[in-house]
Amino acid sequence: MSDEETDSWSAALIIFLILISGVLLVSGDSLSTDRDVLLQLKSFLEDNNKVNRGRYSEWNIGSSNTSAYPCNWAGITCSHTNGTEARVTGIKISDSYIAGEIFGNFSSLTELTHLDLSRNTLGGVIHSDLGRCQNLVHLNLSHNILSGELMNLTGLSNLEKLDLSVNRFSGEVRMSIPVSCDNLIVMNISANNFTGTINGSFFDGCSKLQYLDLNLNKLTGELWNGFARLLDFSVSENQLSGHVLSSMFIDNCSLHFLDLSENGFVGEFPREISKCRNLVILNLSDNNFTGQIPAELGSILSLEALYLGSNKFSRKIPDSLLNLTKLTFLDLSKNNFQGNIQENLGKFIQVKFLLLHGNSFTGGIISSGILKLPNILRLDLSQNYFSSPLPVEISPVSSLNFLILAYNQFSGAIPPEFGNLSSLQALDLSFNNLTGSIPPTLGKLSSLLWLMLANNSLTGEIPPELGNCTSLLWLNLANNQLSGKIPLELTKIGSNPTPTFESNKRESERIIAGSGECLAMKRWIPADFTPFSFVYALLTRKSCRSLWDRLLQGNGLFQICAPGSSVQTLQISGYVQLSGNCLSGEIPEDIGKMQNFSMLHLGINELYGKLPPQIGQMPLVVLNVSRNKLSGEIPTKIGDITCLLTLDLSFNNFSGTFPASLGKLTNLNKFNISYNPFISGTIPSTGQLATLEKESYLGDPFLQLPDFMNNHTAMSPERKDGRPKRPTKLAGILVFLAIILAFLIYIWMIGCGQTARWNSSGGACRGVLLRISG
């Protein structure tokens, strides 16, 4: 090359470099622009979030060079290629209490590949800026409250992982798939409001797709026929319909996980499922599948969990399934199986969870051999038509943790042998026709957390031995005919459940949202009592499963507080429900030692004597002693139970002065002192008690209510327009009539209140006497 040539080449090179750097400057591609954008982001977030802030608020704090270097900031990652300048490639500000809209200048971070804004409360729609982040590989916006349609993301052709789960996105699902999705591996849009069909070829172009989660949307139409090449496909809780076709199961089906539950699929389930040789979990529950359970399932040796509940499969269980040595979870609930339990179920020695609830079985518990299954942990036979006596043939070395026999017609006595089932954590025999008394041997069940015997016809006394059940936190003996005293020893139940919880934490089973938990939870958590009622509203299949897990591991469900303290903690807390029996005698003073209990329901019994002041030492949320014969003063100490929400003292014979201390119960929202004809005193016109309805104080003639409660009707016109009305002549007459009427009601209540009281509190037990004598 000549010098001239070299010169001109150099000149060209220089010009070229200038041009390039000019372009770079224009588009602002450098770490320092990245830094500027991050500082814009920080101030944007700080403007939107004045109080709680995540670690982004620490960015650029401090005077050293290192604290000014963006690659050192919390949640920021940078590229570190040798020689070239580092650039910001990742932002992770999940779980950082961020509210407001999504920041609108992410696209100025031209090397951004990873963006994680999950678990915040970001709202609004996704604007076009995010769609210009061409290099994004991972985008996680899950667990926010974002809404609108997703058109703007369809240009992101480099995406490998897209997680939009648990938001409020809507629109047609096919419009939210990236137009070019060659690189997409994970797509999770579960728990949104997506609509439309998936049976087109929209996902076919996503050739690398392995995980597709469409659960909990509003998808309609038929199933996408390409799903069998994925590893993980779930579309549960949608409105899909039609048949699952045999052609959908290609020879090289690679599914590990297939969840089609809670849709409207019909017809037979194709035997070609056996081509999915690596399938681990198959969930077909809550559909309308009919015909045989495919025998070919028996060749999928990897299968661990099979959910067939809530369908219309015919009753033959193929023997081939016995080959599945890893099968631990078998759900055959709600298929309207009749007659005896299938004979071969007793041969599934590998099974740990056997769910047969909600069928129409009438027998075969013993002949099928299911009680001898060596590995069984949970056996659910509830909601069938078994009418025999309870079976005693359960092996005493049984591993059984949960024995659920509720809602049948089992009769006779509870076998004392049940006390030998030493691993039992829940024994649910409620809603049957059981008679006789509660066997004292149940006191040997030291791991028992739930003892549910409600709504039977059990008689006799509560055995003091139950006090040895140191894990027992949820005791429901309501609606029986138990009599005698509440044994002193009963106050020792649930005093140390920790060993049971600890062992559950060690052995928590890896099984996805199951079956039957909700039915059990709804029996085990009383719906009509706050604070359980708020939990109730959240009960879905998945939340039941997670509630169940939480309870079993000793995690609390709601806030409780120690008496006298307003510090609320989320702590495990139990209940004692003895209502609707014929228990008599006094409530033991030791009840104050029951520190793990927050609901005490003793209503409709014959308890007498004073309410022990020690009750004020319990961390109670609900106390219901209505319809008993309790007398004497209401203990002032009840005013210490700071977190009390419900207090029902109605239909008793409390006397003396109404304790002013109850005014301290600022959380109280259900209160009833009605029909205690000897109670006297004054309800203060300010504080919590004054906010309650007049119906809290019916039939208490000596109790003085604040004026506004008595004159409620006369007051209301004033309240409506906010200023007092001058009484007209008509209003005067009305007030006069109202006073007369109130007086008449008052007289009537004094007379009638007592008769009503004695009639109702004696009702249940009088029934028993009749039954016994008759």
Ligand X SMILES: *[C@@H]1O[C@H](CO)[C@@H](O)[C@H](O)[C@H]1NC(C)=O
8 A C-beta contact, residue 124 and residue 145: no
How many CB atoms within 10 Å of residue 389?
A: 13
Among 380, 465, 648, 700, binds ligand X (CB under 6 A): 648
Q: In the complex, what is the shortest distance from the CB of residue 468 to ligand X, in angstroms, rounded to a whole number?
A: 28
Torsion of CA 528, 532, 537, 542, to 10 degrees: -130
Phi, psi of 591 (to 5 degrees): -55, -25
| CA 42/CA 187 separation, integer angstroms | 29
Torsion of CA 747, 750, 755, 761, to 10 degrees: 140
Torsion of CA 512, 513, 516, 521, to 10 degrees: 130
Classify the C-alpha dihedral 93-70-56-110 as positive or negative. negative
Rank residues 165 and 459 by Cβ distance to ligand X and give the closer one: 165
Longest dimension (CA), the chain: 127
Among 49, 283, 579, 761, binds ligand X (CB under 6 A): 579
Within residues 513-572, the interface with ligand X by CB under 6 A covers: none
Rank residues 53 and 256 by Cβ distance to ligand X and give the closer one: 256
Name the residue with tokens 């029902």: 648
| CA 224/CA 288 separation, integer angstroms | 18
Contact status: 709 vs ligand X (CB under 6 A)? no
Rank residues 698 and 750 by Cβ distance to ligand X and give the closer one: 698
Torsion of CA 501, 502, 507, 510, to 10 degrees: 60
Classify the C-alpha dihedral 104-109-112-117 as positive or negative. negative
Rank residues 324 and 618 by Cβ distance to ligand X and give the closer one: 618
Q: In the complex, what is the shortest distance from the CB of residue 219 to ligand X, in angstroms, rounded to a whole number?
A: 14
Within residues 14-33, the interface with ligand X by CB under 6 A covers: 28, 33
| CA 605/CA 3 separation, integer angstroms | 113
Amino acid at 615: I
| CA 355/CA 283 separation, integer angstroms | 14
Rank residues 37 and 493 by Cβ distance to ligand X and give the closer one: 37
Within residues 604-623, the interface with ligand X by CB under 6 A covers: 604
Q: In the complex, what is the shortest distance from the CB of residue 722 to ligand X, in angstroms, rounded to a whole number?
A: 27
Within residues 401-440, the interface with ligand X by CB under 6 A covers: 431
Among 49, 89, 96, 108, binds ligand X (CB under 6 A): 108
Within residues 62-101, the interface with ligand X by CB under 6 A covers: 94
3-class DSSP state of 411: strand
Rank residues 213 and 428 by Cβ distance to ligand X and give the closer one: 213
Rank residues 44 and 501 by Cβ distance to ligand X and give the closer one: 44
Q: In the complex, what is the shortest distance from the CB of residue 99 to ligand X, in angstroms, rounded to a whole number?
A: 17
8 A C-beta contact, residue 620 and residue 596: no
Contact status: 639 vs ligand X (CB under 6 A)? no
Query: How many residues can be counted in the chain?
Result: 774
Q: In the complex, what is the shortest distance from the CB of residue 673 to ligand X, in angstroms, rounded to a whole number?
A: 8
8 A C-beta contact, residue 547 and residue 411: no
Among 237, 272, 286, 331, binds ligand X (CB under 6 A): 286
Contact status: 119 vs ligand X (CB under 6 A)? yes
Q: How far is CA 367 from CA 95, 170, 209, 392, in A?
A: 54, 53, 48, 13
Amino acid at 310: S
Contact status: 110 vs ligand X (CB under 6 A)? no
Rank residues 276 and 324 by Cβ distance to ligand X and give the closer one: 276
Among 280, 295, 698, 768, binds ligand X (CB under 6 A): 698
Rank residues 479 and 614 by Cβ distance to ligand X and give the closer one: 479
Q: How far is CA 671 from CA 278, 586, 650, in A?
A: 58, 23, 9
Bridge partners of residue 483, in order along the sequence: 582
Q: Interface mask (CB under 6 A) for ligand X, residues 457-496, using x and -?
A: ----------------------x-----------------
Contact status: 655 vs ligand X (CB under 6 A)? yes
| CA 683/CA 694 separation, integer angstroms | 11
- Strand (E) positions, 457-521? 474-476, 483-484
Residue 113: which of 97, 98, 92 has the closest Cα? Answer: 92
Within residues 658-677, the interface with ligand X by CB under 6 A covers: 670, 672, 674
Among 114, 132, 218, 229, binds ligand X (CB under 6 A): 229
Give the binding range for ligand X (CB under 6 A) out of 3-11, 36-44, 390-398, 436-444. 36-44
Within residues 129-188, the interface with ligand X by CB under 6 A covers: 140, 142-143, 161, 163, 165-166, 186, 188
Q: In the complex, what is the shortest distance from the CB of residue 276 to ligand X, in angstroms, rounded to a whole number?
A: 12
Rank residues 104 and 663 by Cβ distance to ligand X and give the closer one: 104
Rank residues 160 and 296 by Cβ distance to ligand X and give the closer one: 160
Name the residue with tokens 């030791």: 590
Q: In the complex, what is the shortest distance from the CB of residue 31 to ligand X, in angstroms, rounded to a whole number?
A: 12
Q: Phi/psi class of residue 221: alpha, beta or left (left: φ > 0; alpha: ψ in -120 to 50)?
A: left
Q: In the complex, what is the shortest distance from the CB of residue 116 to ligand X, in angstroms, rounded to a whole number?
A: 6
Q: Phi/psi class of residue 148: alpha, beta or left (left: φ > 0; alpha: ψ in -120 to 50)?
A: left
Rank residues 229 and 315 by Cβ distance to ligand X and give the closer one: 229
Residue 143: which of 93, 209, 183, 218 has the closest Cα? Answer: 93
8 A C-beta contact, residue 52 and residue 95: no
Rank residues 321 and 434 by Cβ distance to ligand X and give the closer one: 434
Q: In the complex, what is the shortest distance from the CB of residue 336 to ligand X, in angstroms, rounded to a whole number?
A: 12
Give the binding range for ligand X (CB under 6 A) out of 34-42, 393-401, 486-494, 503-511. 34-42
Q: In the complex, what is the shortest distance from the CB of residue 567 to ligand X, in angstroms, rounded to a whole number?
A: 26
Among 419, 467, 603, 753, binds ligand X (CB under 6 A): 603
Give the binding range for ligand X (CB under 6 A) out of 64-72, 612-620, 624-632, 714-722. 624-632
Torsion of CA 695, 700, 705, 708, to 10 degrees: 40
8 A C-beta contact, residue 671 and residue 644: no
- Applying CB under 6 A, the site for ligand X has a residue count of 55
Rank residues 724 and 767 by Cβ distance to ligand X and give the closer one: 767
Give the binding range for ligand X (CB under 6 A) out of 66-74, 193-201, 280-288, 722-730. 280-288
Name the residue with tokens 């942990």: 377
How many CB atoms within 10 Å of residue 39?
A: 13
Within residues 38-57, the interface with ligand X by CB under 6 A covers: 40
Q: In the complex, what is the shortest distance from the CB of residue 446 to ligand X, in angstroms, rounded to a whole number?
A: 29
Within residues 230-269, the interface with ligand X by CB under 6 A covers: 232, 250-252, 264
Rank residues 274 and 479 by Cβ distance to ligand X and give the closer one: 479
Rank residues 598 and 653 by Cβ distance to ligand X and give the closer one: 653
Classify the C-alpha dihedral 593-597-603-606 as positive or negative. negative
8 A C-beta contact, residue 735 and residue 715: no
| CA 461/CA 254 separation, integer angstroms | 60
Among 21, 43, 52, 105, binds ligand X (CB under 6 A): 105
Find the DSSP H helices in 367-469: none
Q: What strand order describes the sheet that includes 582-585?
A: 483-484, 582-585, 606-610, 629-632, 653-657, 678-682, 703-704
Give the binding range for ligand X (CB under 6 A) out of 66-74, 102-110, 387-395, 703-711. 102-110
The residues that touch ligand X, with contacts defined as CB under 6 A, are 28, 33, 36-37, 40, 94, 104-105, 108, 118-119, 140, 142-143, 161, 163, 165-166, 186, 188, 190, 211, 213, 229, 232, 250-252, 264, 286-288, 431, 455, 479, 579-580, 603-604, 624, 626, 631, 646, 648, 650, 653, 655, 670, 672, 674, 678, 693, 695-696, 698
